[in-house]
Amino acid sequence: MREFSFLDFWQLVQAAEWTIILSILAFVGGGLVGVLITLMRISRVAIVRRIAQGYILVLQGTPLLIQIFLAYFGLALLGVDMPPIVAAGVALTAYASAFFGEIWRGAVESIPKPQWEGSASLGLTRFEQIRYVIAPQALRIALPPTVGFAVQIIKNTSLAAIIGLTEITRVAQFINNVLIDPIMIFGVAAAIYFVLCFPLSVLSRYFERRLHVDRPSFKSF
């Protein structure tokens, strides 16, 4: 039987291309929809807030895997034969947008109310208030959890393997079916994910620390 070779390793690395494409798709798509959800969530119209709330509740209250299945079979019902990347992209975008909506709403709400009142008293329109006063401050607070969530997105792209997208996990399964050396193969797959995720985790923690420079640290006893 053939041993795990450099060629197999290289196949796994190449499969990371789809993992990264799907991650970027979900991050950008989810970010754009997430902005919309955030704005709806802080809207002054109650019904708009309710709709955004319901959207977040449904997407945060059901498993991503089910959402991927629904996108996959739902798109098929529409009569179009979509490649798995589309279904996975749609599901991950929706999933990410709900989490971004919630993260960013928290950031906006942590801005002290006088900032709204002060900018309103300067005669700024609501759009100008958000654009020039609230958003720049909220972005700083939202940065660490946003980067942290990017790690979740990368890890969650592995679920697309279940509907057949040939990303890292799927390719690892293929190789393992032939070589049957699971510890090596899935270990390498895990290592590739780790290389993608760990720098972002560190970056997120760095932003977090920079935000709380004055926080007292715990000494061990």
Q: Quote the CA–CA distance of 141 and 113 in Å, as a whole number.
A: 16
Among 91, 21, 114, 98, smallest CA distance to 52 is for 98
Tokens representing residue 190 in the block: 């895990």
Q: What x-and-dash track marks residues 4-43 binding other proteins by CB under 8 A? A: ----------------------------------------
Q: What x-and-dash track marks residues 95-134 binding other proteins by CB under 8 A? A: ----------------------------------------
The residue assigned the tokens 């061990």 is 220
Q: Which member of 1, 77, 112, 213 binds other proteins (CB under 8 A)?
A: 77
Among 142, 139, 134, 136, smallest CA distance to 204 is for 142
Q: What x-and-dash track marks residues 136-165 binding other proteins by CB under 8 A? A: ---------------x---xxxxx-xx---
Amino acid at 5: S
Q: What x-and-dash track marks residues 171-200 binding other proteins by CB under 8 A? A: -xx--x---xxxx--xx-xx--xx--xx--
Interface positions, 47-66, toward other proteins (CB under 8 A): 57-58, 60-66
The residue assigned the tokens 């039987």 is 1
Would you count residue 203 as binding other proteins (CB under 8 A)? no
Among 30, 147, 165, smallest CA distance to 97 is for 30
Q: Which member of 35, 51, 201, 203 binds other proteins (CB under 8 A)?
A: 201
Would you count residue 166 as binding other proteins (CB under 8 A)? no
DSSP letter at 132 equals: I
CB of 93 to other proteins, least distance (A): 17
Nearer to other proteins, 132 or 198 (CB): 198
Q: Which member of 94, 147, 169, 207 binds other proteins (CB under 8 A)?
A: 169
Helix (H, G, I), strand (E, B) or coil at 142: helix
CB of 54 to other proteins, least distance (A): 11
Contact partners, residue 23, CB within 8 Å, separation at least 6: 150, 153, 154, 157, 196
Count Cβ neighbours within 10 Å for each residue of 83-92 and write b for 16 or more, e otherwise.
Answer: ebbbbbbbbb
Tokens representing residue 92 in the block: 């991950």
Contact residues toward other proteins (CB under 8 A) are: 57-58, 60-67, 69-70, 73-74, 76-79, 151, 155-159, 161-162, 169, 172-173, 176, 180-183, 186-187, 189-190, 193-194, 197-198, 201, 217-221
